[in-house]
Amino acid sequence: MANPLGCGCVVLVAAPVAVGLLASLAGVVLDDPRTGPVPAEVDGIHPVLLDAYVRGARMLEGLHPECTGMRWQVLAGIGSVESDHAAGIQISASGDTDPPVIGPLLNGTGAGNNWTPHHDTDGGRWDGDTEFDAAVGVTQHLPANWDRYGVDGNGDGDGDGDGEADPHNVYDSAAGTAVELCTSHPHDTVDFTDRDQLANALFRYNPWDAYVDEVLAEVDAYDAEHPGTGIVAPGPGSDAGQTAVQWALEQVGKPYVWGGTGPAGFDCSGLTMKAWEAAGVAIPRVTTDQYQAGTRVALSQVQPGDLLFYDTRPYSPGEPPTHVTMYVGDGQMINAPSSGKTVRVESVDSGFYAPRFMGAVRPSS
């Protein structure tokens, strides 16, 4: 298959209000007073699991933008109640759990307030039992629902190369929970900053009033202890971000060059790296490293200079994110698309890029 993206670098162009995809996400958390950066660590949560909660909340924006206000504290509240954040379980760097997190058999004997037998639906694949189902994963999914809600939360299939999401991977489990909380609504519309809508979503997840109250209490505790949604308030952007954008715009028309860092041509991460370098800020060369550098921001909150990341496989090689962008505004982007093409300005509201959005990062300036 021809590679239309190369490394897939994109840089976006700035104005007060974005259109298309960004407009559809506007206001996701604008009225949420609990703004601030995601904490570097949270007591009782393995750092890989915390990253999974954050990424699962972020991923929902790209998958289901009609559901707004999801944040890591909601997923952490569920993970706390469901599995005590996989306490006593080993979690690998890629998110796999050893041993798998498997709840009690749902055989109607009352375990977990379950009085209705759930007969086997997965042939024992996820829960190891061929007579009854058991909830699986750090956020406890029913095997019967996993085909509907399961999500590849870290872009690795399920880690064994067969291309399927795995509830025993914390990234997949957290992202799947975010999707289920959204799409279990009959119209796939939930504002998770609304207390009643959040409670109703939790009840659909586990129809037990005591469970809902317990999860909400955990969410409230995380909100109080770490009053940040991982969202940074919107605005015109920093001087450094504006400088990076202006430098990037000056590269329009130059050819895409694989591995290029200018001045004659650029690939995606080469363009973003050099743009921020022009603003006096050093960021890593490689897309995957750039994704880990800076502060995560919601797509609805991006400011000029922010980097956007995409999973453009199979068109681009390597592990995701395989495509990086820099926001510059008004729903536009500067794109170094692929071999044979030039750096150009185009809409971010793209049928190709929008479904592949992974997350946004604001480089530290």
CA distance 73 to 53: 8
CA distance 231 to 250: 30
Q: Would you state the torsion angle of the CA atoms of residues 297, 226, 165, 148, taken in this order, to the nearest 10 degrees?
A: -90
- For residue 136, give the 3-state DSSP assignment: strand
Alpha carbon 75 to its chain centroid, in Å, reads: 12
The whole-number pLDDT of residue 35 equals 42
Distances (CA, A) of 161 to 124, 266, 317: 20, 32, 15
Helical residues (DSSP H) of 70-192, grouped into ranges: 72-83, 143-149, 170-183
Give the number of other Cβ atoms within 10 Å of residue 191's Cβ.
20
Amino acid, single-letter form, for residue 219: V
CA distance 152 to 179: 11
The whole-number pLDDT of residue 98 equals 96
Query: What's the pTM value of the predicted model, to 2 decimals?
Result: 0.58
The whole-number pLDDT of residue 1 equals 36
The whole-number pLDDT of residue 236 equals 58
DSSP 345: E
Q: Model confidence over 18-57: pLDDT tens digits?
A: 333 333 222 222 223 334 566 778 999 999 999 899 889 8
Class of the CATH domain delimited by 36-101+137-225 = mainly alpha
3-state helix, strand, coil in the chain (%, to 5): 35, 15, 50
CA distance 344 to 331: 14
Closest by CA to 17, choosing from 352, 365, 332, is 332
The whole-number pLDDT of residue 228 equals 57
Domain edges within the chain: 9-24+233-362, 36-101+137-225
CB 248, CB 271: distance < 8 Å = yes
Class of the CATH domain delimited by 9-24+233-362 = alpha beta
Residue with tokens 């170094």: 336
The whole-number pLDDT of residue 37 equals 60
DSSP 191: B
CB 168, CB 100: distance < 8 Å = yes
- For residue 135, give the 3-state DSSP assignment: strand
The whole-number pLDDT of residue 7 equals 59
Low-confidence spans in the chain with pLDDT less than 70? 1-38, 112, 156-163, 228-237, 300, 330-331, 346, 365
CB 317, CB 259: distance < 8 Å = no
Alpha carbon 192 to its chain centroid, in Å, reads: 16
- For residue 326, give the 3-state DSSP assignment: strand
CA distance 344 to 11: 9
CA distance 305 to 362: 7
The whole-number pLDDT of residue 167 equals 96
CA distance 133 to 334: 50
